[in-house]
Amino acid sequence: MFQGYWAAVVTPFRHDRIDVAAFERCVAMLAEAGLEGIVVGGSTGEALSLTREERLQLIKAATHTAEGRIHVAAGIIAATTHEAVQQAKDADKSGAAALLVASPFYVKPSSEGLYEHFCAVHGASPLPIIVYNNPGRTGVDIDLNTLERLTQLPRIAALKESSSHLLRIFSWRKHLRSDFALLSGDDGVSPAFLAMGGDGVISVTANVVPKLCVGLYNAWINADLETFAYIRDQLASVHEALFIAPNPCPVKYALSIIGLIRDEVRSPLLPLSDLEQLAIRRVLQDLSLLAA
């Protein structure tokens, strides 16, 4: 399950309400493209702007649309362990196949506090867990000692690594269970991540060009380095454009001009400037995703 390309899927809005029809279109496109899975209600899904009822609605819509073609993981992003446990229980009841559990944000817990947090979520749900390390957003960085302890729990199955420490993947691999998956959370370094022993990517870019992302991964595992390099270079400009402003503002604009969703985010996020929009439009035109 925890390999290849996953998409951290967006949450489309229409007049500040979830646009279920647009969300289902996105999930269907991603499933048809051959992705391994999607994460619903993660950072790219504007998790912190969603109500409990909206999170449940998204998970149910995703599992219904996926029809078993693609794995559905629920994002668990909370500042307290109590809230994370409740979200995990909700996700299980709503049909999710896995959990992507972020470190608690803002409160900056100790390493022992992080360990206890993940243990509590693990004990509250029968679903496999992807540990989500994103110190730029949460304010805390999971260290190797904590991760080693967590991998002794049977359902701690993978790490989504979104720190800037790419070399740690190379050095950590030998300390972790052989069946424990390492997933990149940074599109820009994903080719290097795979080359250093990573198992896959949880991607923002895959929302827009899922077939290219699948092609990159397939080229890598088939040792087709010429195709891998070609797709890597194609994707480089897309990665750059989709992080020209805070995520998910650029990817939502890209999906809107492709015709899948409305360009709408919730405050305090803002729509892109005209110059930022132009940069994304040019990249998509170069890939023939838009009319010239």
Catalytic residue numbers, as ranges: 132, 160
Helix (H), strand (E), coil (C) string for 38-88: EEECCCCCCHHHCCHHHHHHHHHHHHHHHCCCCEEEEEECCCCHHHHHHHH
Distance, CA of 101 to CA of 36 (rounded, Å):
18
Q: Are 33 and 2 in contact (CB under 8 A)?
A: no
Sole residue written with tokens 């015709």: 259
Distance, CA of 178 to CA of 151 (rounded, Å):
10
Distance, CA of 205 to CA of 55 (rounded, Å):
22
Omega prior to 268 cis, within 30 of 0: yes
Q: Are 45 and 251 in contact (CB under 8 A)?
A: no
Beta bridge partners of 181: 158
Q: One-letter amino acid identity for 51? A: T
| CB neighbourhood size of 144 (10 A) | 12
Distance, CA of 192 to CA of 243 (rounded, Å):
18
The count of residues in the chain is 292
For 87-118, give one letter per residue: b (16+ CB within 10 A) or e: bbebbbebebbbbbbbbbbeeebeeeebbebb
Q: Closest Cα to residue 73, out of 53, 98, 108?
A: 98
